[in-house]
Homo-oligomer: A and B are copies of this chain.
Amino acid sequence: MKIIKNSTPAADGFYMPAEFEPHQGCIMIFPERADSWQYGAYAARKAFVQVAEAIARSEQVTVCASAAQYDNARAMMPAHIRVVEMSSNDAWARDYAPTFVKKYGEIRGIDWGFNAWGGLRDGLYFPWDKDNAMARKLCDLFGKDIYDKRDFILEGGSIHVDGEGTCMVTETCLLSEGRNPDKTKEEIEETLREYLGVSKVIWLPCGIYQDETNEHVDNICAFIKPGEVVLAWTEDRDDPQYAMSEACLKALEQATDARGRKIRVHKLPLPKPVMMTAEECEGLDACHDEPTRMPGERLAASYVNFYIANQHIVMPGFGDPADEKAREILQKLFPEREVVQIYARDILIGGGNIHCITQQIPE
């Protein structure tokens, strides 16, 4: 693995393909952290296995497990899913596995800086050194060279691309004080252009209410093809999410993409607010002497947090009446892929969802 320090993907002719383009595989991480996953992560692991199995129906899945959890991960995952030993601080492959860029047949990684979604200012745990080391380890494992951009804090869940020159982000996240406070919006755009090979950045104002990642774009809005997105939506005007989704809709209506297209928006309903129960809270270790979650705390549930596999859409369900409607909408939008819906409350409790725990490797 070569670490590339003196060039950028765009300068070398590389760009980030869209998630709906073909994959050679998917990376996941086995959950273990006791202040993220309730009751020893047993339920979360079962959900992760279901996600891995669904993705593995149409692409190769590699699951990273710590030395301590390797045997358990290997026993729980089906034989056709690869399990490798790799340390991490938690299980969010989207955010610290490499962002992959492509040029004809060659794939390279990007090693962004990772500081647990806000570092010492509003990050979610400390330390985050093992997470931050994963991008390089994974590129070494997969035999890909990697661009060193550790001086810029970015998580994979905070960007979406259409593969045709457009990137979509949220202002709350990319302009947060805990990431790159010395950089202007223009400088941040410039970094996205240089590293993702895009020419246009669409800024949404915000994301999902109470999303502790500073509102990653991947929980509120996703490209389903160039020029078309799904947007998490509620009709409940009393929900703080209403104004947030509406603000995003306005931004999208005013936007054009890198090719000058207007953006077509498909609304995806949100489930009713999902709250932590007292029993769930009792099954979580404290994080830095503070309770990780409180009973009644609202979680950032959203159907937008799905993964686009080669022949499947792997989406969350919450046991909500909207589950089926959201599934039907996605199935219509992705007529050539089979939608697999997985009950994901146990992933959501950790703070993210199916898109957050996966990272695709382009073909």
Contact = CB atoms under 8 A, between A and B. Distances in A.
A11 B36 CA distance: 48
A329 interface: no
Nearest to A129: B71
B141 A82 contact: yes
Given A74-B140, A137-B70, A140-B74, A84 B82 contact: no
A84 B84 CA distance: 9
A18 to B, nearest CB: 27
A77 to B, nearest CB: 10
A214 interface: no
Nearest to A130: B67
User: A interface, by DSSP: helix, strand, loop or mixed?
Assistant: mixed
A43 interface: no
B133 A82 contact: no
A337 to B, nearest CB: 25
A265 B17 CA distance: 59
Contacts of A259: none
Contacts of A3: 79
A83 B84 CA distance: 13
Contacts of A66: 67
Contact of A82 (B1, B67, B85, B130): B1
Interface in A128-148: 130, 133, 136-137, 140-141, 143
A183 interface: no
A67 B87 contact: yes
A133 B73 CA distance: 14
A79 B141 contact: no
Contacts of A84: 84-85, 137, 140-141
A293 to B, nearest CB: 28
A87 B2 CA distance: 24
Nearest to A3: B79
Contact of A140 (B1, B82, B87): B82
Nearest to A66: B67
**Which among A2, A3, A70, A130 has the highest number of chain B CB atoms within 10 Å?**
A70
B86 A85 contact: yes
A67 B70 contact: no
Nearest to A142: B82
Contacts of A136: 74
Given A67-B66, A74-B140, A140-B74, A85 B83 contact: no
A5 to B, nearest CB: 12
Interface of A: 1-3, 66-67, 70-71, 74, 79, 82-87, 130, 133, 136-137, 140-141, 143
Q: Sorted from nearest, which 6 A-B pairs have the closest CB atoms?
A: A67-B87, A85-B85, A85-B86, A2-B79, A82-B140, A84-B141
10 contacts: A1-B82, A2-B79, A66-B67, A71-B133, A82-B140, A82-B141, A84-B84, A84-B140, A85-B85, A85-B137
